[in-house]
């Protein structure tokens, strides 16, 4: 049996007597560890789950849409080197007439075989697969089904090719292809206004005149096949069949968004939690160092008894390790629990059919290791310093701390004696004062760094939806139409103003950089150009040349004056040389713009449009929706308010959840740090303050000396913390700068205010707790005992 | 001297500390008068109860039973805030380990008290009295132990206290330096007429007192008046 030595008992007793402080330290380290473990675990789980999902359901590696080709072409595609197998299908845009929704919802209908295909297999959540022979059965994506509470046995009204058809829901499904169901032209999921439906092939052949033909291709590749070569060869085969240009899985819409989201989560978990962990470790180090310094006499005593420096060091290490290990265990447990919770939440958000919940062992090693090292280093250096004193000296009353008249002395002259004590104490221990300030400042900073998100997202929404997008709704046609269609839109009820636009898909290239993007042709002299300058002020579209969004310019490495090669993948497929004439600021996506007429001229399709931006009379929206529903040529309408709402909802569900956790952890860290600083200051000065009480100082006067210093240091910490917090926000904003969207670096006053308030509140509560302890100071002890 | 006014009067003081299951009796029925201007040495071994007595007289602790009268006021009836005021206005303390504020100079340590006292002398004057008129601007770390203790005495007397309480004032000092400190105490007692109580376990010090109160086992064992007060400078141990 292991013998419990007297020193070990001392460890336990000491822990018992300082439990509140020990807990506060453990909480700081626990918060740092938990956050690290949580985000790493969640991220790994999501990435592994996605990989497994794609694997298990045969998610295609290359997608090749086209206008129309006979089914026999499939064998020619299979002969393309590197292609393992091919699935062909019919995929069309439709309108959906949904109960309770004034405007038509947009739909995607896709053919699905009776026997499971080799690629893009669906996951049946509820109901059954198709049964042979019937063409009025439909499988509905789960997200859309949930939005309308659709169940097997229910019905959906689909306007296919201008004809209304009522389809019977037989199954609710999930698809790896629509993990993220984003309406065409949209940026975020809107499950009420966009749904994906799978029908039997005969049904779609009949509805769209596609007997014996297909318009979409899925390909799986041989291992090691060169994706770019395969794509080029596939494009060559499909060229004469109206191929729009094949794209790899990386560019597949849902996967692209998913990757973007996951990259953001990854950046979030790669940058912020390590910073938190480092801050927690740093604070742990400060707290431990200072605390051990107050143990000077005990260390002297132990050495006097004949304990070696090593034994004394080991004793304190045990004490610190116990606290740290408790913190780490709390952090592991909390991190696993929260990570799991978050992963489940994201699983639902991403519509994954299952979740692999996993942690990489290195996550625990890093989090635990960093915390332990910080604690050990702090302990060891402080113990060493104390242990170097000859025992007799350590047990003597410490010589009065040597104070000198510092260069700041003249500023203290006019102060009262207690104030002078406060100031001299701060100046006498500049390093410690600085660390206290830094500790509190970091508490402010982690709060700002995590809080800034809430305000930044509002700013982003304001920029995108109030300053960049000035139209109320965007109408898109099923097919390109002449500008006569604009007249039809202008006379629709509720329409106050309408401007045409075109969207032409092209591969934009400059040097080695390439990007598939829609070139949006906008109406010259109109109001809805969606082009803005660096200050987000509207700018008219130049008559010639290409306007790149800032992000696209970054991706392509292009600037004003450069020439971009644009391989258009529709119409007569011209290869265009376009001069970049302007860069437009953007927060969402990475569009490119041209003057509508110039674009049509280059396409040799004068007077064509793909849709219109409209301003609406707010009182007549339902009449407008009704009219849209009755216009078969309109594929869909995107209402800005609805988009704005779904965008905000998406952000809330996605990033803000994680942010909320960050804020919670930041609060824990802030409170832990401030409380410890107050608590340690008290033990360092207990005797001095008790002496003053004996001399007749009131509790208030004594508190002023201790708490005044803490308050002053806290006040110093606030501006520094705001600065550091801004830096943290900057790092974070930078890490979230993706193709999808950019978080504007704008820290609101609310954020600063909140962070300051939390730290002030923590300081106040700590002050009150300390004040209570000051009231219990043992004056008699002060007469007798040394520190 | 027996007709002189009484500064502080203790009657039937007892003090029992409850520590765990054990009751420790520190004082068991003590009656004591400290008279105006006299220098009393409370002599006794450690654990005899002398510090407890001093703490009660100084308003740091309350007796379990008994009363302490100071200027017609019963200290045992005062609450914490009033006891603070009592210490602030009437009591000067000198501690064994000086308990100076390290961040303040000698003068400022004294000012710490004069700033809150009703009718103090100047800090310089107080330091002059203890022979430190030339070390006003030194921080505690720049002073010897004896000098630090004399600053503490100056700090205690600067408020012109009704009573000066010294708890083992020479406990941490050698004989020679201790003599200087005791000299300072004797001088302020003589020149200011401050009622002074010195507690010590060092019997030699008793020779400088007007009166010696010997305490043991929580009771007063013996009170004797010194016919002849020795000059503290002549004491050695």
For residue range A383-404, what is the model confidence (pLDDT) as tens digits? 777 666 666 555 555 566 677 6
Q: Quick one: which H or E segment has residue A475? A: strand A473-482
Mean pLDDT of the region A89-108: 88
Q: Name every chain B residue with its beta carbon within 8 A of the beta carbon of A699.
A: 84
Q: Name every chain A residue with its beta carbon within 8 A of the beta carbon of B199.
A: none
User: What phi, psi does A709 have (nearest 5°)?
Assistant: -65, -45
Q: How confident is the model at residue A171, as a pLDDT? A: 96
Residue contact A783–B167, C-beta within 8 A: yes
Please check whether residue B2 lies inside any domain of the structure: no
Q: Give Dmax (Cα) for chain B.
A: 54
Residue contact A692–B115, C-beta within 8 A: no
Tokens 């000296």 found at: A393
Residue A672 confidence (pLDDT) above 80: no
Eight-state DSSP code of residue A655:
I
Q: How confident is the model at residue A268, as a pLDDT? A: 67
Please check whether residue B183 lies inside any domain of the structure: yes
Question: Chain A within 8 Å of B183 (Cβ-Cβ)?
Answer: no
Share of chain A above pLDDT 70, in %: 92
Residue contact B103–A403, C-beta within 8 A: yes
Distance CA A33, CA A333 (A): 10
CB atoms under 10 Å from CB of A492, counted, come to 22
Mean pLDDT of the region A666-671: 74
User: What phi, psi does A89 have (nearest 5°)?
Assistant: -160, 170
Distance CA A219, CA A61 (A): 6
Q: Which residues of A touch B (CB under 8 A)?
A: 397, 399-404, 416-418, 420-421, 424-425, 428, 687-688, 691-699, 701, 779-780, 782-784, 786
Q: Which of A267-271, A352-356, A488-492 has the highest mean pLDDT?
A: A488-492
Mean pLDDT of the region B156-173: 87
Q: Which of A58-72, A412-426, A654-668 has the highest mean pLDDT?
A: A58-72
Among A425, A701, A780, select the one facing B60 at the smallest CB separation: A780
Provide the residue range defining the domain that includes B139.
Answer: 35-61+79-234
Residue contact A402–B60, C-beta within 8 A: no
Strand order in the sheet with A247-248: A83-89, A213-221, A62-70, A247-248
The size of the A-B interface in CB pairs under 8 A is 98
Q: How confident is the model at residue B14, as a pLDDT? A: 94
Q: How confident is the model at residue B9, as a pLDDT? A: 94
Q: Is A17 exposed, middle or buried (0-12, 13-18, 19+ CB in 10 A)?
A: exposed
Q: What is the pLDDT of residues B9-28, one digit of tens each?
A: 999 999 998 877 788 888 99
DSSP bridge partners of A107: A94, A195
Residue contact A697–B88, C-beta within 8 A: yes
**Three-state DSSP class for residue A546:** strand
Mean pLDDT of the region A22-49: 84
Distance CA A595, CA B135 (A): 88
Residue contact B84–A779, C-beta within 8 A: no
Q: Which residue in chain B has the smallest CA separation from A429?
A: B103
Residue B202 confidence (pLDDT) above 50: yes
CB A191 within 8 A of CB A144: yes
Residue contact B88–A779, C-beta within 8 A: no
Minimal Cα–Cα distance from A675 to chain B, Å? 24
Q: Quick one: which H or E segment has residue B177? A: helix B175-192
In a mutational test of the A interface, the residue from B89, B99, B167, B172 whose CB has the highest number of chain A CBs within 10 Å is B99
Q: How confident is the model at residue B1, as a pLDDT? A: 45
Q: How confident is the model at residue B2, as a pLDDT? A: 47
Minimal Cα–Cα distance from A393 to chain B, Å? 14
pTM value is 0.69
Please check whether residue B118 lies inside any domain of the structure: yes
CB B140 within 8 A of CB B148: yes
Sign of CA dihedral A555, A561, A565, A570: positive
Tokens 């470790």 found at: A281
Q: pLDDT-derived band of residue A505, with 50, 70 and 90 as boundaries?
A: confident
CATH number of the domain bearing residue B54: 3.40.50.300
Residue A786 confidence (pLDDT) above 50: no
Query: Mean pLDDT across chain A, nearest whole number?
Result: 85
The pairs formed by A630-633 with CB atoms below 8 angstroms and a separation of 24 or more are A631/A488, A631/A492, A632/A95, A632/A159, A632/A162, A632/A478, A633/A477, A633/A478, A633/A479, A633/A481, A633/A485
Q: pLDDT-derived band of residue A180, with 50, 70 and 90 as boundaries?
A: confident
More confident site: B4 or A324: A324
More confident site: B32 or A286: B32
CB atoms under 10 Å from CB of A348, counted, come to 12
Among A397, A417, A699, select the one facing B104 at the smallest CB separation: A417
Among A421, A694, A784, select the one facing B104 at the smallest CB separation: A421
CB A109 within 8 A of CB A204: yes
CB A177 within 8 A of CB A249: no
Residue contact B113–A695, C-beta within 8 A: yes
More confident site: B52 or A280: B52
In a mutational test of the A interface, the residue from B82, B84, B96, B201 whose CB has the highest number of chain A CBs within 10 Å is B84
User: What's the token pair of residue A13?
Assistant: 């007793």
Q: How far is CA A745 from the centre of its chain?
A: 14
Domain count within chain B: 1
Q: How confident is the model at residue A695, as a pLDDT? A: 83
Distance CA B118, CA B110 (A): 14
CB atoms under 10 Å from CB of A642, counted, come to 18
Please check whether residue B158 lies inside any domain of the structure: yes
Distance CA A552, CA A267 (A): 21
Distance CA A417, CA B155 (A): 14
Residue contact B84–A696, C-beta within 8 A: yes
Among B87, B108, B142, select the one facing A694 at the smallest CB separation: B87
Question: Chain A within 8 Å of B82 (Cβ-Cβ)?
Answer: no
Question: Chain A within 8 Å of B113 (Cβ-Cβ)?
Answer: yes
CB atoms under 10 Å from CB of A757, counted, come to 12
In a mutational test of the B interface, the residue from A701, A774, A783, A786 whose CB has the highest number of chain B CBs within 10 Å is A783
Residues in chain A: 787
Q: How confident is the model at residue A740, as a pLDDT? A: 73
CB A552 within 8 A of CB A515: yes
Q: Which residue in chain A has the smallest CA separation from B153?
A: A695
Residue A575 confidence (pLDDT) above 70: yes
Mean pLDDT of the region A9-30: 80
Residue A118's alpha-carbon distances to A60, A474, A633, A649, A732, in angstroms, are 9, 37, 34, 35, 41
Mean pLDDT of the region A753-770: 86
**Three-state DSSP class for residue A86:** strand
Question: Chain A within 8 Å of B1 (Cβ-Cβ)?
Answer: no
Minimal Cα–Cα distance from B155 to chain A, Å? 9
Q: How confident is the model at residue A608, as a pLDDT? A: 92
Distance CA A271, CA A273 (A): 6
Q: Which residue in chain A has the smallest CA separation from B101?
A: A688
Q: What is the pLDDT of residues A767-781, one digit of tens each?
A: 888 888 888 877 776
In a mutational test of the A interface, the residue from B101, B110, B120 whose CB has the highest number of chain A CBs within 10 Å is B101
Minimal Cα–Cα distance from B156 to chain A, Å? 8
What is the pairing mode between strands A137-141 and A62-70?
Answer: unpaired
CB A490 within 8 A of CB A507: no
Distance CA A353, CA A367 (A): 31
Q: How confident is the model at residue A663, as a pLDDT? A: 76
Judged by phi (left if over 0) then psi (alpha if -120 to 50, else beta), residue B7 lies in alpha
Question: Chain A within 8 Å of B222 (Cβ-Cβ)?
Answer: no
Residue contact B103–A420, C-beta within 8 A: yes
Residue contact B84–A418, C-beta within 8 A: no
Q: Which of A294-303, A434-443, A594-603 has the highest mean pLDDT?
A: A594-603
Residue B62 confidence (pLDDT) above 80: yes
CB B147 within 8 A of CB B178: no
Q: pLDDT-derived band of residue A669, with 50, 70 and 90 as boundaries?
A: confident
Query: Mean pLDDT across chain B, nearest whole number?
Result: 88
Eight-state DSSP code of residue A447:
H
Distance CA A670, CA A441 (A): 9
Residue contact A696–B155, C-beta within 8 A: no
Mean pLDDT of the region B170-183: 84
Share of chain A above pLDDT 90, in %: 33
Minimal Cα–Cα distance from B142 to chain A, Å? 7
Q: How confident is the model at residue A464, as a pLDDT? A: 87
Residue contact A688–B91, C-beta within 8 A: no
Question: What is the Cα gyration radius of chain B?
Answer: 17
Residue B128 confidence (pLDDT) above 70: yes
**Of the candidates B185, B188, B115, which has an alpha carbon nearest to the alpha carbon of residue A415?**
B115
Find the Cα–Cα–Cα–Cα dihedral A578, A580, A583, A586, rounded to 10°: 20
What is the residue-wise DSSP string for A724-737? HHHHHHHHHHHHT-
Distance CA A528, CA A472 (A): 10
More confident site: A109 or A417: A109
Tokens 């060169």 found at: A226
ipTM tops the 0.85 cut: no
User: What's the token pair of residue A484?
Assistant: 């006569």
**Of the candidates A431, A699, A618, which has an alpha carbon nearest to the alpha carbon of residue B84?**
A699
Eight-state DSSP code of residue B95:
-
Distance CA B42, CA A291 (A): 39
**Where is average pLDDT lowest: A315-329, A443-457, A479-493, A570-584?**
A443-457
Minimal Cα–Cα distance from A276 to chain B, Å? 36
Please check whether residue B10 lies inside any domain of the structure: no
Distance CA A245, CA A507 (A): 9
Q: Name every chain A residue with its beta carbon within 8 A of the beta carbon of B81.
A: 698
Please check whether residue B71 lies inside any domain of the structure: no
Q: How confident is the model at residue A109, as a pLDDT? A: 95
Q: pLDDT-derived band of residue A416, with 50, 70 and 90 as boundaries?
A: confident
Residue contact B101–A786, C-beta within 8 A: no
Please check whether residue B84 lies inside any domain of the structure: yes
Q: Name every chain A residue with its beta carbon within 8 A of the beta carbon of B99.
A: 687-688, 691, 694, 782-783
Among A401, A693, A782, select the one facing B102 at the smallest CB separation: A401
Residue contact B141–A687, C-beta within 8 A: no
Q: Which residue in chain A has the smallest CA separation from B109?
A: A417
Question: Chain A within 8 Å of B78 (Cβ-Cβ)?
Answer: no
User: What phi, psi does A405 have (nearest 5°)?
Assistant: -75, 110
Q: pLDDT-derived band of residue A411, with 50, 70 and 90 as boundaries?
A: confident
**Where is average pLDDT lowest: A120-129, A203-212, A431-440, B63-72?**
A431-440
Mean pLDDT of the region A63-80: 94
Residue contact A687–B99, C-beta within 8 A: yes
Mean pLDDT of the region A348-365: 84
Distance CA B168, CA B154 (A): 16
Among A399, A420, A696, select the one facing B88 at the smallest CB separation: A696
Please check whether residue B70 lies inside any domain of the structure: no
* Half-sphere exposure in the Cβ direction for A42 (13 Å, CA): 34
Q: Which residue in chain B has the smallest CA separation from A776?
A: B80
Question: Chain A within 8 Å of B188 (Cβ-Cβ)?
Answer: no
Q: Which residue in chain B has the smallest CA separation from A422?
A: B103
Find the Cα–Cα–Cα–Cα dihedral B227, B228, B230, B236, rounded to 10°: -60
Residue A120 confidence (pLDDT) above 50: yes
CB A441 within 8 A of CB A577: no
Among B60, B116, B155, select the one facing A779 at the smallest CB separation: B60
Residue contact B51–A786, C-beta within 8 A: no
């Amino acid at each position: 049996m292991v013998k419990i030595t007297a020193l070990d008992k001392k460890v336990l007793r000491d822990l018992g007597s300082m439990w509140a402080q020990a807990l506060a330290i453990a909480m700081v380290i626990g918060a740092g560890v938990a956050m690290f473990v949580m985000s790493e675990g969640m991220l790994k789980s999501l990435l592994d789950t996605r990989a497994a999902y794609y694997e298990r359901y045969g998610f295609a590696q290359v997608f090749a849409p086209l206008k129309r080709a006979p089914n026999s072409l499939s064998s020619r595609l299979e002969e393309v080197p590197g292609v393992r197998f091919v699935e062909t299908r019919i995929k069309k845009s439709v309108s959906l007439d949904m109960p309770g929704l004034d405007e038509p919802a947009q739909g995607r209908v896709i053919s699905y075989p009776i026997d499971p295909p080799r690629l893009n297999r669906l996951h049946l959540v509820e109901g059954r697969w198709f049964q042979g022979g019937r063409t009025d059965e439909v499988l509905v994506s789960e997200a859309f089904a949930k939005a309308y509470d659709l169940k097997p046995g229910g019905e959906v009204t689909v306007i296919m090719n201008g004809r209304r058809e009522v389809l019977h829901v037989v199954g609710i499904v999930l698809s790896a292809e629509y993990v993220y169901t984003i309406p065409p032209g949209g940026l975020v999921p809107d499950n009420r206004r966009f749904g994906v439906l799978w029908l039997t092939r005969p049904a779609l052949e009949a509805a769209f005149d596609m007997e014996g033909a297909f318009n979409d291709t899925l390909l799986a590749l041989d291992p090691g096949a060169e994706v770019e070569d395969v794509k080029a060869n596939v494009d060559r085969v499909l060229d004469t069949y109206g191929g729009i240009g094949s794209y790899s899985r990386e560019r597949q819409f849902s996967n692209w968004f998913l990757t973007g989201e996951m990259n953001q989560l990854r950046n979030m978990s790669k940058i912020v939690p390590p910073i938190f962990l480092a801050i927690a470790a740093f604070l742990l180090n400060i707290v431990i160092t200072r605390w051990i310094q107050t143990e000077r006499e005990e260390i002297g005593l132990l050495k006097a008894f004949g304990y070696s420096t090593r034994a004394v060091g080991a004793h304190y290490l045990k004490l610190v390790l116990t606290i740290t290990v408790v913190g780490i265990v709390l952090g592991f447990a909390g991190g696993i629990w929260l990570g799991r919770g978050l992963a489940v939440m994201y699983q639902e958000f991403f519509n994954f059919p299952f979740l692999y919940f996993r942690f990489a062992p290195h996550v625990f090693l890093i989090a635990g290791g960093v915390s332990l090292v910080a604690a050990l280093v702090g302990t060891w250096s402080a113990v060493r310093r104390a242990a170097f004193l000859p025992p007799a000296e350590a047990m003597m009353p410490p010589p009065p701390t040597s104070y000198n008249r510092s260069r700041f002395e003249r500023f203290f002259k006019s102060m009262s004696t207690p104030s002078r004590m406060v100031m001299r104490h701060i100046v006498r221990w500049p390093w410690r004062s600085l660390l206290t300030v830094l500790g509190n400042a970091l508490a402010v900073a982690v709060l700002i760094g995590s809080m800034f998100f809430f305000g930044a997202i509002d700013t982003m929404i304001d920029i995108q939806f109030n300053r960049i997008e000035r139209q109320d709704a965007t109408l898109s046609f099923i097919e390109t139409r002449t500008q006569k269609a604009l007249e039809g839109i202008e006379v629709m009820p509720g329409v106050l103003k309408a401007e045409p636009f075109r969207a032409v898909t092209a591969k934009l290239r400059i040097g080695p950089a390439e990007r598939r993007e829609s070139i949006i042709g906008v109406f010259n002299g109109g109001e809805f150009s969606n082009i803005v300058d660096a200050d987000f002020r509207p700018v008219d579209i130049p008559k010639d040349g290409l306007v790149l969004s800032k992000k696209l310019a970054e991706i392509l490495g292009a600037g004003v004056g450069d020439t971009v090669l644009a391989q258009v993948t529709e119409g007569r497929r011209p290869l265009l040389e376009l001069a970049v004439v302007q860069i437009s600021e953007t927060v969402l996506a990475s569009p490119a713009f041209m003057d509508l007429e110039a674009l049509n001229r280059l396409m040799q399709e004068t007077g064509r449009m793909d849709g219109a931006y409209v301003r609406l009379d707010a009182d007549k929206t339902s009449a407008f929706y009704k009219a849209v529903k009755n216009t078969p040529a309109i594929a869909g309408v995107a209402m800005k308010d609805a988009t704005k709402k779904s965008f905000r909802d998406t952000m809330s569900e996605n990033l803000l959840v994680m942010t909320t956790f960050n804020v919670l952890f930041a609060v824990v860290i802030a409170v832990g740090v401030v409380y410890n600083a107050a608590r340690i200051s008290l033990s360092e000065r207990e005797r001095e303050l008790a002496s003053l009480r004996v001399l007749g100082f009131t509790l208030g006067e004594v508190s002023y000396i201790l708490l005044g210093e803490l308050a002053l240091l806290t006040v110093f910490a606030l501006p520094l913390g705001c600065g550091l917090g801004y830096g943290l926000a900057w790092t974070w904003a930078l890490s979230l700068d993706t193709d999808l969207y950019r978080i504007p670096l704008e820290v609101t006053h609310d954020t600063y205010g909140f962070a300051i308030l939390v730290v002030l509140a923590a300081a106040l509560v700590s002050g009150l707790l300390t004040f209570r302890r000051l009231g219990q100071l043992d004056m008699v002890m002060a007469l007798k005992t040394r520190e | 001297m027996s007709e002189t006014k009484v500064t502080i009067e203790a009657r039937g003081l007892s003090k029992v500390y409850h520590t765990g299951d054990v009751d420790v009796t520190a004082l068991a029925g003590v009656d004591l008068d400290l008279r105006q201007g006299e220098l009393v040495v409370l002599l006794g071994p450690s654990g005899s109860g002398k510090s407890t007595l001093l703490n009660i007289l100084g308003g740091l602790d309350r007796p379990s039973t008994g009363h302490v009268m100071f200027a017609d006021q019963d200290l045992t009836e005062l609450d914490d805030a009033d006891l603070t005021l009592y210490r602030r206005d009437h009591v000067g303390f000198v501690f064994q380990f000086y308990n100076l504020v390290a961040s303040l100079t000698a003068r400022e340590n004294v000012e710490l008290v004069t700033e809150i006292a009703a009718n103090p002398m100047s800090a310089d004057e107080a330091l002059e009295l203890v022979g430190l008129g030339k070390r006003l601007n030194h921080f505690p770390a720049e002073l010897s132990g004896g000098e630090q203790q004399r600053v503490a005495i100056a700090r205690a007397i600067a408020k012109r206290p009704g009573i000066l309480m010294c708890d083992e004032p020479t406990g941490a000092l050698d004989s020679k330096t201790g003599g200087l400190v005791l000299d300072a105490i004797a001088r302020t007692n003589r020149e200011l007429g401050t009622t002074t109580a010195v507690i010590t376990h060092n019997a030699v010090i008793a020779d400088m007192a007007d009166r010696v109160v010997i305490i043991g086992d929580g009771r007063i064992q013996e009170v004797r008046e010194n016919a002849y007060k020795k000059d503290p400078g002549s004491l050695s141990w």
